[in-house]
């Protein structure tokens, strides 16, 4: 199957899943402007938008490829299509392991600690090998993102995320309000 056909199929599947998720979300009972259906609505709209973006990107790429093919020889076009990069299975495996560890340790260590650690290691893993790794920046981004998400759920949605048995057993409580 040609690459553009795979990309178009992927876009159509994502669009279909997004629309199906949106239809199912619309069946949830609504009680207020922000309630338990808000996040599913947001996610379904995001998934639908990503499907549309993927399809539009493929259509644009196909248009550009047709223009390029009109000006190039068939041999040059064949050389371009065979120069595809191989998937990086090592990174995929490490990411799957990190997700497994995150889920396994979330209740024990708590959301703040595990999310910051997960994000830090995941950013480090996804940084290309030829780029310099700036660990201080990665740590800052990880901690800020984790704290922002935690307090967004706490204050905006009134949902408590796991604070961790490990910390509770040692008398440390993350469920405080600094303001």
Locate the domains of the chain by residue range.
3-81, 89-169
Tokens representing 4 are 């553009």
Give whole-number Cα distances, 135 to 114, 123, 130, in Å.
Answer: 17, 9, 15
Contact 50, 14 (CB under 8 A): yes
Q: What is the pLDDT of residues 74-98, one digit of tens each?
A: 545 445 554 445 677 888 899 999 9
Contact 124, 101 (CB under 8 A): no
Residue 4 has pLDDT above 50, yes or no: yes
Distance of CA 18 to the CA centre of its chain: 15
Sequential DSSP letters for 115-152 = HHHHHHHHHHHHS-TTSPP-HHHHHHHHHHHHHHHHHI
Report how far residue 163's alpha carbon sits from residue 175's, in angstroms, rounded to the nearest whole number. Answer: 7
- Give the single-character DSSP code of 154: I
Comparing 97 with 72, the larger pLDDT belongs to: 97
The position carrying tokens 């093919």 is: 69
Tokens representing 20 are 């199906």
Q: What is the pLDDT of residues 12-59, one digit of tens each?
A: 998 999 899 889 888 888 777 777 778 888 888 999 999 899 989 888
């Amino acid at each position: 199957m040609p690459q553009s056909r795979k990309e178009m199929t992927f876009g159509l599947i994502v669009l279909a899943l997004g629309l199906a998720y949106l239809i199912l979300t619309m069946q949830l009972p609504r009680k207020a402007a922000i309630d338990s259906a808000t996040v599913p609505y947001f996610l379904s709209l995001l998934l639908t938008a990503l499907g549309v973006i993927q399809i539009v990107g493929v259509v644009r790429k196909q248009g550009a490829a047709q223009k390029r093919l009109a000006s190039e020889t068939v041999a040059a076009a064949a050389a371009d299509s065979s120069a595809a990069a191989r998937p990086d299975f090592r990174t995929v495996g490490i990411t799957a392991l990190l997700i497994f560890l995150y889920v396994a340790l979330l209740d024990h260590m708590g959301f703040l600690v595990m999310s910051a650690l997960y994000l830090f290691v995941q950013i480090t893993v996804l940084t290309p090998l030829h780029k310099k790794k700036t660990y201080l920046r990665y740590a800052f981004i990880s901690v800020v993102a984790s704290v922002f998400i935690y307090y967004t759920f706490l204050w905006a949605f009134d949902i408590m995320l796991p604070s961790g048995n490990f910390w509770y057993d040692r008398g440390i409580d993350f469920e405080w309000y600094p303001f």
